[in-house]
Structure 1
């Protein structure tokens, strides 16, 4: 694997995580009933949030699957998964302890306005497991589950069969790219649709208390495709070529139109489900293709963003909640409030990363790493030395 390919996918993964700042700020200022919500509707921000949601997380899980497929072949399933437990499980637990309760307090103050009612709200949330326990950290839990399934599959007798399936798909894409792509997309959509139906019949949402949602099924195809790309580099080159990127973009646009125009009926729900899976997968491939051209050379600032992205993501949401509530109180809404929140949240989150990076204990808790990572301070010192 050439360094440029690693750089552009690593940079894309970091960028997708950092896009959580404008996404969550848009949810706050669109007036759509999020954790905290502006009393003034902003349709443009709601549309932007829907646009980001359609492709950002599928692209993230595709890239995560790529690195999973790449590294698990080198290290083996056991050592690789133990590393994932540290790199994903430690930040998940630390984030749940350090940032989630703070968000409960901010939401409680926003909704009820008094401390007694806020503490009652916090106590009710802490009493029983629910999606409130993970909030914006849900993707770490889902990714851990995907990694566990992958490690078990690679360690099982099914590994040769999976390898032959990967070779078959690569050969089929070479011979009949359009037909094979259509079959893969429709198969992925059918699996998601069937899985959601089973999830609903078994009432797993109630069984799992919302800690794991049906999104686990929605993003599984993107992770699986990413694993295939990590194990079969030839396929990655085929689908990120310029012509292929344009073709996938057209498919994503067509599927998006189907999502919007599907009738409000049982058939329409099926159409939307199939089209949504298609949008996510095709848009994710387009994002990888674009990143391969824009982020094809290593840069210091990209390296810093890669190292900072996880901590920035963990701390950014409580910062957005606090900023949004403060701006609502001052009467600042709409695009102006969103822009101020995005800039301030990124700056404060970046500062938090620098402080975490300087503190060994916090660094290990929030990143799963003991060694210091890239820092803006060291970048400035190196720049001065070079000059």
Structure 2
């Protein structure tokens, strides 16, 4: 017997919206901070001292927001799979995830290269370039932010295949994981991340999939499926341990990271944190998973307690949030090019790019939802 599908909870949709807002902010930060990698890195590059707040902020975001999106997606994927069955579930996922990824690879990414071209690079005749781009298969590694849709599609296909081989048994609700179990899982994912980064350090990718972060993504996807089948998401979000973990990560996370950064750079370069047999890489991997777990638990507690409401503005934002995710890259690049004419103020430009990028992306997402052919996938 299949598990009952989880009911739609408004706060989960709003939490997903907030996570996507943070994705846009992350890419706005990278544009000006040069911490990380993005299509466009605006000049001038900040000093190391100016980068430190960005290192802390962006590391905090990276520690949890994409893993949380995988967790939330898996929570509802489990219910969808139970209702539809493996075959219909796969077909639906191919449309909802595969088509947006192809839209990005075949339309949006080439538009960024040929239309916006922030590097002023000579790509040659556009038709010849695009023909080579498609025929060579190069487009498969140019998913941009839609790597998330590609990875989520692969995870969903794996889940459907496993369910086909071993149908889900009837289960009853169970208590949420204990604090000790959560801590152990966080440490385990940290060690797994460190091991992966021995061969795939931070900054590397395979077809635009940054495998250095995938220990968390896979674990949190599986946790989302388990939460849906066992019914412990809502009790966990309402627990005091989720609130306490959130505050501990929010307050202690930056302090510990700053300490790691100061101590680690005294004996080695910043690259030692990215991977390899270095205590810095181990420290960052474990910090990342424990802090990310705490922040995710705190976000669950915050939204379930204070944003579990359904209003027209919040629903409007939630319904268009995935469209914003798909469309925000060319928007940020175009705006950053426009803002070159403004006086340089590092933090002011990041704030301006974040706010205007969100506004324009939401307008475009709304227009896309009114466009035949796009409404069903955005």
1:149 is matched with which residue? 158
CA deviation vs aligned residue, 1:326-358 (integer Å, no higher than 9, x gap): 212444441222233223222221221222122
Q: Is contact 1:105–1:118 with CA below 8 Å preserved after alignment?
A: no
Change (3 A) 1:292 1:172: closer
1:50 is matched with which residue? 59
The CA distance in 1 between the partners of 2:314 and 2:247, in whole Å, is: 29
Offset of 1:105 from its aligned partner? 3.5
Offset of 1:287 from its aligned partner? 1.0
Q: Name the TM-score, length of structure 1 as normaliser.
A: 0.78
Change (3 A) 1:128 1:329: farther
Offset of 1:72 from its aligned partner? 2.2
Offset of 1:282 from its aligned partner? 2.6
**Correspondence list, 1:256-271, <5 A:** 257-262=255-260, 263=264, 266-271=278-283
The CA distance in 1 between the partners of 2:123 and 2:234, in whole Å, is: 58
2:287 is matched with which residue? 275
2:39 is matched with which residue? 35
Q: Give the one of 307, 314, 332 matched to 2:319.
A: 307
Offset of 1:88 from its aligned partner? 0.7
**Local SS of the residue matching 2:309:** coil
Change (3 A) 1:96 1:351: same
Q: Is contact 2:56–2:257 with CA below 8 Å preserved after alignment?
A: no
Where in structure 1 are there 5+ consecutive unaligned residues?
A: 368-387
1:216 is matched with which residue? 214
Offset of 1:228 from its aligned partner? 1.4
2:91 is matched with which residue? 82
**Local SS of the residue matching 1:302:** helix
Where in structure 2 are there 5+ consecutive unaligned residues?
A: 273-277
Q: Is contact 1:106–1:322 with CA below 8 Å preserved after alignment?
A: no
Offset of 1:37 from its aligned partner? 1.7
Offset of 1:144 from its aligned partner? 0.8
Q: Give the one of 225, 229, 234 matched to 1:227.
A: 225
Q: Is contact 2:246–2:299 with CA below 8 Å preserved after alignment?
A: no
Offset of 1:179 from its aligned partner? 2.5
1:110 aligns with 2:123: no
CA deviation vs aligned residue, 1:64-86 (integer Å, no higher than 9, x gap): 12112233233323322221111
1:97 is matched with which residue? 106
Would you tell me which structure has more helix in proportion to its own residues? 1
Offset of 1:319 from its aligned partner? 1.0
Offset of 1:92 from its aligned partner? 0.9
1:21 aligns with 2:24: yes
**Local SS of the residue matching 1:155:** helix
The CA distance in 2 between the partners of 1:255 and 1:334, in whole Å, is: 24
CA deviation vs aligned residue, 1:201-258 (integer Å, no higher than 9, x gap): 9xxx78x44456433333111211111111111x223322241123322553556655
Q: Give the one of 42, 61, 76 matched to 1:67.
A: 76
213-222 or 10-19, which deviates more: 213-222
The CA distance in 2 between the partners of 1:179 and 1:228, in whole Å, is: 18
**Correspondence list, 1:333-344, <5 A:** 333-344=345-356
Change (3 A) 1:93 1:70: same
1:357 aligns with 2:369: yes
**Local SS of the residue matching 2:39:** coil
**Local SS of the residue matching 1:342:** helix
Offset of 1:3 from its aligned partner? 9.7
**Local SS of the residue matching 1:39:** coil
Offset of 1:39 from its aligned partner? 2.2
- Aligned-residue CA RMSD (Å): 3.5
The CA distance in 2 between the partners of 1:287 and 1:269, in whole Å, is: 26
The CA distance in 1 between the partners of 2:214 and 2:7, in whole Å, is: 31
